[in-house]
Every structure is written in structure tokens, then in C-alpha cells.
Amino acid sequence: MELTLLPDGIYERVISDELGKVLDEASKEEQIWKETETVDSQEGARYLSDYAGRLIHCCLKEIADQDEEGSTALSKELHLVNDLIRLLSKRMETLGEGHTVSREDFLLTQLKRRQNTLKEIILERPLSGLSHSTLFTNSKKDVSLVTELQREIQSADRIDLLVSFIKYSGYIMIRPYLQEFTRHGGKLRVLTTTYMGATDPKAVAELGALPNTEVRISYNVKETRLHAKAYIFYRSSGFSSAYVGSSNLSHAAIADGLEWNMKITQQDMPLVMEKIHTTFDTYWHSDEFQDFSEKDRPYLEDAIDAERGRGKKEGSALSYAFRIRPYPYQEQILDALQAERQIHHRTRNLVVAATGTGKTAIAAFDYARFAKNRNKETRLLFVAHREEILTQSLSAFRQVLQDPGFGELSVGSFKAKRADHLFISIQTFQHQRLWEKLDSHYYDMIIVDEFHHAAAPSYQKLLSYFKPRILLGLTATPERMDGKDILSYFDGHMAAEIRLSEAIERRLLVPFHYFGVEDPIDLSHVAWSKGQYETDELIHLYARDHTAEIRANAILRALTRYTSDLRDVKGIGFCVGIQHAEFMARFFTKAGIPSLALSGDTPDEVRRKAAADLASGRLTFLFVVDIFNEGVDIPAVNTVLFLRPTNSLTIFLQQLGRGLRLFEGKDCLTVLDFVAQANRKYDFASRLFALMGTRNLSIRREVQLGFPHAPKGCCIQLEKVAQQRILENINSQLKGLSYYLETIRELYEITGSVPTLAEFFKASGIDPHLFYNGKRTYTRLLMKAGLIEEREESLEEKVLMRAYPALLSLDSPHWISYLKENLKAPQRPTTILDREYAAMLYHTLLSKDLEALGIISPEALILSLSHWHPFIKELEAFLTMQENALSFLPQSPGVLYPCALEVYCHYTRNQIFAALGYDHPSSIREGVKFLTPEKSFAVTHPTDVFLVTLNKSDRDFSETTRYEDYSIDRMTFHWQSQSTTTPHSKTGQRYERLCREKEKAGYILLFVRENKKDAYGGTQSYTFLGRVSIERLQGSQPMTAILKLALPLSAGLLTETDASGVL
């Protein structure tokens, strides 16, 4: 092979010995630069099989080409293939015998069980075949898509249709074939929407009336956003096919329109076919689609009329037709509120969420759950400062509760007759002096919307007089411009925050295009105090010094670079002080961009006029200080400039949220964030994590790769210099000791006292996962900083230091409680449950250093821990910190033996098997384990343990293993056994028995994790999903099981375990 045959570019090519020699020689001579990769075994199987397949095809084609008549070629091809099969059979026992091919008519094209008929039934075959994918373009030379669909229907066993809309003109072209298909027992599922009002209700009604047919419809088209089109034909023979492309079910789309549709076959694209099947199933089980039957036709017609602009009258059939369910991100908030009250006993709760993300719906769901649990009359007071908010909130409550008569308004011209479910303005509350008419305990729940207003005097009587069982505050802006702290009403604690990413993906907010732009100003030498830059120095650089104009010009150039037309911009620039804001407004106005500076001191009427002028286009920019991150909404804003560094993540998100409101004609928010050479204590990573919406990813890798996992519809781009600066900042925080010493000393100077562990992490913003890397402890940091007496490093410290990474996932309240109690007053573990807890800790701490201390049993560890001074104090503080972070309610696994494991909690492999009474957890490497009472001190019933890693490859994205194990819906999980398991093997027969007899035959416990490694490079722990039973079992090597969970997946877990990424 010659080097000239390899053009420059990117590859995914297996390096043969011949190619390797050429590349090595060229590298030595410095002719080329190359990059190679060692893939893991999962990915290797795919690449090597593809490589071998190409070589085999090349050899077989050569045999065929040498024999033009074809008289001997086929037998030679068979001979070669059989030689290869025999070689593989000798090497691999799993292949077995009988795979060689002896006959020349080796292609099976049809098989049908004989029936009492004189004539054989010949099934119609698609003209495009069953084994090779192809593209349909509706050209004259193509096979007709509609006739091919008709043929596919006739030979399918099951059919799924996914289309945005269904026209009668399209349905009628395949109607007789679907009628025949369903009449003979074929199962048909149809997903569609009311998008654009394009669907014909008659077509849907006729489809729904077919036998063996289910139809589900999305009426919430603004948030479902279904534009996919797929026609999927399943065949038990293994020759399934699907058509995916641009054609909805209309005459124009499937008959004569210029449409592109890809036919995908199971034979040559099995992974894509599996993805299609998995994704459809996920959509099918999504709450966003509603079952359709003939009785629902009026609702469908109403929804289509509304989309067609014919209007939907108040109180129409659709208004309360369907029960509203919380979105997953809202459900996570509800779970966090439940944990706040039941675990932490905090009943004054603050929820922070950007405007437009459904705060009121969360409050309504929270009230509904609270009232249901009380099972008696639950009085509600809902307070807001505007009539519009109260009217919308009452409507939301009525829809959630499915009660059009719920609640009354008391605002403006509305006079309430009853007070038990009252939606009242704060002005009316004051005017009516409600506190003089009602007992202080009259209301069970009080909800205050826009709680940032509650620091005002008008709210004080409300908050001081009434004593509800629950006080719920809702706000988008917990940090007020006047400095008043609303968190004091909630014991300094925020119950929950909505992540922007999910709200954006649900189209409740517009997507953002975030650009990290090089800032020409160097801030690395600006004084840093109390966690932020000195304001006066920043103002000097940004507004007074010669650097101000240099920077303003750079900002203007960036704005031109990243916006299509400055005349369409409606922007807000967040500044460090009024002088900075006024300078920027003057500079932009002089450049022909009408702008105005505003601050907290600007009169209200001026601010209102400025907001109106910005919305109308008379102004292009408002440069602001301490406003527009609180209380003022201009939905038309489509550009945000971050012109000042802020280390407050809350303020950053508030300011970002100002531009994310939905507005007609606004498809995204453009965000320009100016990245300077910064003080290394400045925290870039947290704001990037916030933009990503998850901490399950390595932020350093995301920066390096260009943010491939940005929220759906969003874009995060960093200019080259900005990227380099952010990576340097992240790396400096990863390096460790000197950074942490500076931070701890600074905190000590600010507070005058030694920070507790929790204070250290909260005040500094340092991620515990970065700090606890197995090489440091907080106690040693305090010693190095000179804040406590230094001692020599001990074996006890080494043991704990190495164990902390495995304890970071600790979120089991009962285990935490056991450990805290035994650190204070050690008790010999005598009960089975206590032995399990002790064993879990022992196998977490187990190391040579622990053995060197003479501790060789869980009991010995528990009895000695309290003497490990001073490091045991840190462990106590660590456990308290983990306990305070609990944001969900674990459940009991419901097995008939004592079990320390709690459903929804996280555990390492060693902790799992230690809790199940297995003496040598570290010896277990496989993903399945069968435990019996003979192998365990805890298990009294046969128990199968399934450990599932969803992404089995080490790569960020693996098509080969992504669709083996995944959740189908909240109660159902798709699982594959090990590749060697057959129905006739001992393990396979046990699974068959578990499928038939369920828990009479034993238990199955399911544990799931997303990846092998977490975002910080450590081993990722497993989430315990509880008991499962096998509903269906099929296949061989591997066997595939449909598992039914005993407890439903939480919203967060459903999102993590869903293979399609749409739930």
C-alpha cells in the first residue's frame, strides 16, 4: 500500500499490518502526523467484524468475477465460507455446530405453516427486497413508495406508524391493505399529532376503528414537536424493515411529492433498526401521547380546529379533556419537596425557576399531592401581586385538579364568597385585613408567587400571622437588587431549582446560542476579595481607563460577528456599575446603536418606558446594573451580553433567564459572554455545568470537544483564546493543594473562624467530587493551612482518604443514620441489618492499610472507628453533608429478608454485595450474580442480581451497546443477558422458571448505571431500581427479557435510563 492512497482527513479504519508499516515509516520520516486509538472490547467487536466482513466480501467477489459463466463460482464461495465457519467453531464454543452451508439454493425467501387449503399462500414481497437498505425519492425511475408500503403491509407481522399528520387522501391509498392486515390478527400502532391542524379526524377515526389497532395522539404540539415520519414493519423472521424520511401519510407525500425516504432493513442496519424500534416504543409510552377512541373524537376535532385558527371556546370539550401530568423536570422538583418535608422536616420551601417554566403548575401538583395524602379538606391561600398572575394560576389549578369549580378569585372586580381555596392579591389581602377574620392556622397550605416581592412591608403580616402546615414560595429571582434576603424566610435554604436545559428542551423557553468570546482585558491581576473581583477596579478598567474603549470596540465587533442584523437585536448588557453602563450606552449610541443605561436608582416610569422602547425597537440595547435580573420581563429580548464577571451562579442564571422567554418570531437567544484572563478562583466550570444541565459529564472534555452534549436545540461555542483560558482555569482548580489552601485561608479571613466542611464547599463553590479524589482530606487541608494543629499522616487517615470517592454517592438515609449513630456510640452489630450496614462500610474502606491496623472484620471496624481522631470528625461532617443533600424519598425493596439496600439509592458494586451478605464482594466481576442462602449470611431466598451499565463502551457514544438495556416506561425495562446464555443453559432455565413462577422461584434485584466512569474519572456507582420480575423472555445468546419493576422509576431515573433520550 502506498501513502498516496490515503488522503488527509479523519478515519475510522482498522490498521492492518501492511497499513501499519506504511504509517510507521512515514511517521519516522516526519512525513505525516497521525492519531490512533485503542478501543474497548465492545467497540472492537464491531470494527473488527466489519473489517473481516469486507475482506471476506472482497475474496468472494473475486471468485465470482473469475467465473463469468457462474458454473463453479458458487461452490467455491461456499467452500471458502465453510472453511472459515469451521475455524470459528473450533475457536469459539458458543458458535456450536451446524452453521456450515452445503446447498446452492441457500437463500430462504418464504416459510409458512401449512393450513387446510389446497393452494399455497404466496406472500407479496417488497420489490426493493428485505436485506439491503435503499433510498426512495419518488422519482419516475424509483419503485413507487405507496406500492412498496402496500407490499410491506401484506408480509408484516406487526406495524408501527409514526407521522405528524394523517390525511384521508393518504390513508385511503393503504386502507384496504391495513384492513386485511388487522382482520387477520396483525397488530397496528399509530402515533400522530394535531400539528398545524393538518390531520383529518375522519382518517384517525377510521384507523382507530380497525381491529387490533391502537392510536395515540399528541395534542400538545408546541412541546411535543413531533416532526419525524416512520413506517415500521416487523417480521418474526428477522427481516423487519422501516421507511424513515419526509413523508407524512398524505397522497402528496407517499405518491407524487418530491420526498426522500430511507428504507432501512434489519439485515444490513440492525443497530439503526433497533434504535427505531426503541425510540418508537419510548414515544408510545410517553405521557405526551393520549389514547384515542371514538369517544375522543370531539376532543380531536376541537384541537384540530384550534390549530386551524377556528378558535377553541372557553369550556369546550378539550378544556378539561385530559389529565395534565407533570413533566419529568417538574416531577423532580415535586420529589425534592417531598424529601424536604419527610426527611428534613422542612415545611417552609422555596422553589426557584425561570419565568415561563411552569412554577404555578408545580405548585398545583404539590397541592394536589398534599391534599391527597391528607385525605381531607385542605385549605389553600394563593397570593400574588397581579390579577393576571392570579387568573392564570387559578386556571392552572383547575386543570391539574380536573375541577373547573375549584377556588375563587379575590382581586379587582372579583369578590370571593368563600375563603377555603382563595386566590388573592397582596393588595386585596391588605385592604380586607384577612388576618383579622381568620384563625392563624386556618390555611393548611399558603403559596406565594413571585416571592422576591415578599421582603416588602406589605407581605410581612401575611408571613408573620398565618401558620400553615406548608409555606411554598415561588420565584425566578431569589437575589434581590435591594440586598434583602428572602432565603431567611426558608431557614436559609432553597428547596429546589428547575434546570434550564429541560425547560428549553420542552420548548417552555427558547434555546440559547452561547458564545464564549475573547475579552481583551486581563483580570488576573485585579484584586480578589470575598469571592469576587473588586468592583472599583473593574469599573476603572471597563469605563475610565484607556482599556474601556478597546474593550467596547471588541464587544461591538463580536456583536456584529454573532448576530445577523443589528436592526433586529433587542438586547440587554449586564454591567458592573452605573459608570460602566453609561459608558457602554454612550459608546453604542455613538456607533449608531440606540442604547440607554439603567440602574436600581432609575425611576420606575423611566424603566417602564425603556422596556417598552426596547420591545418596540426604538432602543436596541439597555445596559443595566442590578435590574433585569429581578422582577422586570421583556420577552422580546433576543440578545444578552455578559459584560461583567460574576461568581454567583444564581445571578448568572437569573440574567440568562431574562432572555429565554418565549416570544413570537424569536427562535433563540444569542448570548455573548466575554472571557478574560481570570483569577484562578473565578469559577467557569459551574456556569458551563449550568448551561449543560447536568454534572454527569466531564466539563473539561466537553470544552475540548466543542460541547457535543449541549441541550437540544442549543449551541455552546468558545473562541479559541476563550477556550484556552477556560481550560487553564479548570485545570488550575483540578491541580489541588495550593488552590485549596488559598481558598480556605480566604474563607478564614472573611469569617474569622475555621470553616466547617459544609461551609467550605458552599462558600467556595468547589465540587466535593473534585476535592475528594482519594488523595486528600479536609482535615489535612486545615492542618496545611495552619488552622488546626498538624499531625503526622496515619494509617487511619490513608484508609478514609482512599474511601471518600466511593462514599460520595452515599444517599441512603438509613445507612447514613446507622453510621452517624455508631461514630458517636459504637455498638456491636448483632442484627442481620446492622451486620449488612457494617459490611458495606468495611468493604468500602477495605485496603492493605486497614489490614495493617489489624482490622479484619466489619465488627472490628465499627468498634474502632470512633477512636480515629481527628479524622473521624470529618467523616461525621461528611455524612451530615450527604444527609442534607438528600432530595428524594427512598423505598424499601420489599424482600422477605432484612435488606440494607434502599430503592433509588446509589451503591458501589462492593457495597451491593456486602449488603446482600456476600463475604468477598471484590471478587465479583460479572454483571450478573446468583445468590443463595448457602453463599450469603443475609439472603434467605434465591436472588439474582443484575448489574447493568447502559453505555458499556468507554466511548461517549456507542451505537453498538446503546440499545441492549434501557427503560421502556416507568414500570418496564428491556434487559439482555450475558452473550453465552441460552434457553437450554442452567442460567437460561432459571430465567424461564422466574418468568413462569415469578417470585415463587426467587427474587431479581436490578441495579443500573449510565457509564463505567463518572464525569470525574472515578468508577460510577449503581442506582438500585428494586425488585423486578420477568414478563417475557426470548432469544438466545443473549436472551432478551422484558422486566416489570415492582416500584416505578422516578422522573430523573426515567430520563437517565431511556435509550432514546426523549422521555
Q: Given a cut of 90, is residue 1 above it in pLDDT? A: no
- Provide CB contacts within 8 A for 740, sequence distance 6+: 766, 771, 776, 781
Instruction: Round to whole Å and give the CA distance between 530 and 760.
Output: 13
Q: What is the mean pLDDT of residues 412-438?
A: 93
Question: What was the pLDDT predicted at 696?
Answer: 65
Paired with 1044 in beta bridges are 972, 1029
Q: Which of 948, 837, 826 is nearest to 899 (CA)?
A: 837
Cβ atoms of residues 265 and 131 within 8 Å: yes
CB of 614 closer than 8 Å to CB of 570: yes
The CA distance from 1008 to 949, in Å, is 6
Question: What pLDDT is attached to residue 320?
Answer: 47
- Where helices occur in 186-269 by DSSP H, the ranges are 201-209, 221-224, 251
- Give the fold, CATH level 3, of 328-498: Rossmann fold (3.40.50)
Q: Rounded to an integer, what distance in angstroms lies between the CA atom of residue 869 and that of residue 875?
A: 10
Averaged pLDDT, 666-677: 92
Instruction: For residue 906, give the H/E element and its range.
Output: strand 906-907
Q: Are 358 and 910 in contact (CB under 8 A)?
A: no
The CATH T-level fold of domain 523-735 is: Rossmann fold (3.40.50)
H helices, E strands: number in the chain: 37, 32
Please report which confidence band the pLDDT of residue 734 belongs to, taking 50, 70 and 90 as the band edges.
Answer: low
Amino acid at 662: L
- State whether residue 959 is helix, strand or coil: coil
Residue 629: the pLDDT is: 46
Q: What is the 3-state secondary structure (H, E, C) of 873-887?
A: HHHHHHHHHHHHCCC
Q: How many CB atoms lie within 10 A of CB 220?
A: 18
Query: In sequence order, which ranges of 943-1028 are alpha helices (DSSP H)?
Result: 986-997
With H, G, I as helix, E, B as strand and everything else as coil, classify residue 751: helix
Residue 512 has pLDDT above 70, yes or no: yes
DSSP 686-738: HHHHHHHT-SSS-HHHHHHHT-TTPPTT-EEEE-HHHHHHHHHHHHHHHH-HH
What is the pairing mode between strands 261-265 and 241-245?
antiparallel
What pLDDT is attached to residue 637?
Answer: 95
- Between CA 353 and CA 657 the distance in angstroms is 9
Strands 241-245, 230-234: pairing kind: antiparallel
Amino acid of residue 457: P
Please tell me what DSSP assigns to residue 16.
-
Cα separation, 554 vs 557, whole angstroms: 5
Write the pLDDT tens digit of every residue in 564-576.
999 999 999 999 9
Phi and psi dihedrals of 471, rounded to 5? Answer: -115, 120
Whole-number Å distance between alpha carbons of 305 and 241: 35
**Residue 106 pLDDT grade (very low, low, confident, very high; cuts 50, 70, 90):** confident
- What are the beta bridge partners of residue 1009? 949
DSSP, residue by residue, 965-1009? SEEEETTEEEEE--TT--TTSHHHHHHHHHHHHGGGS-EEEEEEE
- DSSP character string of 755-798: PPHHHHHHHH---HHHH-SSS--HHHHHHHTTSS------HHHH
What is the distance between the alpha carbons of residues 731 and 738, in angstroms, rounded to a whole number?
13
The pLDDT of residue 711 is 85
Distance CA 890, CA 904 (A): 6
Break the chain into its structural domains and give their ranges. 3-95, 134-307, 328-498, 523-735, 738-884, 906-1057
Sorting pLDDT into bands at 50, 70 and 90, what band is 695? Answer: low
pLDDT-derived band at 122 (thresholds 50, 70, 90) equals low
Cβ pair 124, 155 in contact under 8 A: yes
Is 387 buried (19+), middle (13-18) or exposed (0-12) by CB count in 10 A?
Answer: middle
pLDDT at 413: 87
d(CA 276, CA 152) in angstroms, rounded, equals 17
Residue 736: pLDDT band by 50, 70, 90 thresholds? Answer: low
pLDDT confidence of 633, banded at 50, 70, 90? low
Spacing of C-alpha 33 from chain mean position = 38
**The predicted structure's pLDDT at residue 345:** 93
What is the pLDDT at residue 312? 52
Q: Which residue, 550, 547, 667, 643, is CA-closest to 595?
A: 643
Is 161's pLDDT higher than 90?
Answer: yes
Residue 628: pLDDT band with limits 50, 70, 90? low
Of the pLDDT bands very low, low, confident and very high (cuts 50, 70, 90), residue 968 is confident
pLDDT tens-place string over residues 297-327: 988 988 888 888 775 544 444 454 456 788 8
Asked whether the CA dihedral 30, 34, 35, 39 is positive or negative, the reply is: negative
Q: What's the CA gap between 146 and 159, in Å, rounded?
A: 15
Q: Residue 155 is placed in which grid cell?
A: 408480509
Q: What is the pLDDT of residues 177-200, one digit of tens each?
A: 999 999 999 999 999 999 888 999
pLDDT, residue 955, reads 57
pLDDT of residue 314: 44
pLDDT tens digits, one per residue of 333-368:
999 999 999 999 999 999 988 777 788 999 999 999
Strand 1003-1009 and strand 943-949: the pairing is: parallel
Please list, in sequence order, all residues whose beta carbon lies within 8 angstroms of the beta carbon of residue 1048, skipping any fewer than 6 positions away: 970, 971
CA distance linking residue 476 with residue 657, whole number of Å = 8
Q: Grid coordinates representing 914?
A: 456486602
Amino acid at residue number 909: R
Residues 417-439, mean pLDDT to the nearest whole number: 94
Nearest to 134 by CA among 122, 143, 123: 143
Residue 956 CA to its chain's centroid (Å): 15
Stretch 50-60: mean pLDDT, rounded? 88
Of 1045, 1042, 1053, the closest CA to residue 1028 belongs to 1045
Question: Phi and psi (nearest 5°) for 1034?
Answer: -155, 165
The pLDDT of residue 794 is 93
| Greatest extent of the chain over all pairs of C-alpha atoms, in Å | 104
332 vs 339: CA distance, rounded Å: 11
How confident is the model at residue 472, as a pLDDT?
A: 97
Would you say residue 29 has pLDDT above 90? no
Beta strand 639-642 with 621-625 is unpaired
* pLDDT in the model for residue 317: 45
Determine contact, residues 969/56, Cβ cutoff 8 Å.
no
Least confident of 217-231, 490-504, 947-961, 1027-1041: 947-961
Concatenated DSSP letters for 557-616? HHHHHH-S-GGG--EEEE-SSHHHHHHHHHHHHHTT--EEEEETTS-HHHHHHHHHHHHH
Lowest mean pLDDT among 296-310, 404-418, 909-923: 296-310
CB 371 within 8 A of CB 379: no
SS3 72: coil
The mean pLDDT value of the chain amounts to 88
Sorted by sequence, the CB contacts under 8 Å of residue 286 that are 6+ apart come out as 1062, 1063
Q: Using one digit for the tens of pLDDT, what is the confidence trace for 816-826?
A: 999 999 999 99
Q: Which residue reads 472492537 in cell numbers?
A: 44
pLDDT above 50 for 750: yes
Looking at the domain 134-307, which fold is it? Endonuclease; Chain A (3.30.870)
The pLDDT value recorded for residue 117 is 53
Are 572 and 641 in contact by the 8 Å Cβ rule? The answer is yes
Query: What number is the average pLDDT over the span 89-117?
Result: 74
Mutual angle of helices 757-764 and 737-751, in 10-degree steps:
100
Stretch among 643-652, 657-666, 803-812 having the lowest mean pLDDT: 643-652
Q: Note the helical H segments in 377-438.
A: 387-401, 426-432
SS3 content of the chain, % helix, strand, coil (to 5): 45, 15, 40
Whether the per-residue pLDDT at 975 is higher than 70: the answer is: yes
Cα–Cα distance for residue pair 744/778, rounded to 1 Å: 10
Average pLDDT value for residue range 960-968: 71
**Per-residue pLDDT at 631:** 43
Distance from C-alpha of 305 to C-alpha of 197, rounded to nearest angstrom:
7
For residue 313, the model assigns a pLDDT of 46
Topology alike, domains 328-498 and 523-735: yes
> Which residue, among 930, 916, 901, has the nearest Cα to 1047 in the 3D structure?
901
What is the C-alpha to C-alpha distance for residues 736 and 1057, in angstroms, rounded to an integer? 34
Taking residue 928's Cβ as centre, other Cβ atoms within 10 Å add up to 17
Confidence of residue 953 (pLDDT cuts 50, 70, 90): low
Distance, CA of 186 to CA of 259 (rounded, Å): 28
